[in-house]
Amino acid sequence: MDVARRRLRPALEWLVAAAFLIATLAVASMIVQELRAARPSPSTPAAEVTLPPPSVPPRAISVPVLLLLDGKQLRLGDTLEQVSGLLGRSAEMGTQEIGRGALGERLTRHYDHAGTRFILVFEPFELNGRPRVAGIYIQ
């Protein structure tokens, strides 16, 4: 009986050491996966810097919300339909510019409403999404 214990003890020690080694490798693998997931990928649209279209003057100021003199307000994220319903076609000035954005077509429109001149940039926030206000610029 004593001889059997002597033979099993080294095998049991090796088995425990192998289990600890496997557990250590599993923890290290999880740490590496978390570090990779935490770093933003340069190919994701959120990591891209969105520059204003060329038709926006260099001194134009970007704002997240625009309060108009007649009490109406425009916000980043408003849909093209909401803005058209709020302002109407009569507020549009000149021609609109169509370009390429990060996730689809980018539309730039110039407006003059209730004495306020501004530029709205519309583009989708997701692939195949509806155009939304991505930029509000005051001249």
pLDDT tens digits, residue range 14-73? 889 999 999 999 999 988 888 887 655 554 444 344 667 777 878 888 888 888 888 888
Same domain, 3 and 57: no
Q: Is the separation of the CB atoms in 96 and 109 below 8 Å?
A: yes
pLDDT at res. 20: 93
Tell me, yes or no, if the pTM score tops 0.75.
no
Same domain, 104 and 61: yes
Report residue 63 as tokens. 């704002």
Same domain, 64 and 31: no
Q: Which domain holds residue 128?
A: 51-138
Same domain, 33 and 67: no
Most confident of 19-28, 97-106, 124-133: 19-28
pLDDT at res. 45: 46
pLDDT at res. 48: 45
Find the mean pLDDT for residues 120-129: 85
For residue 89, pLDDT over 50 is answered with: yes
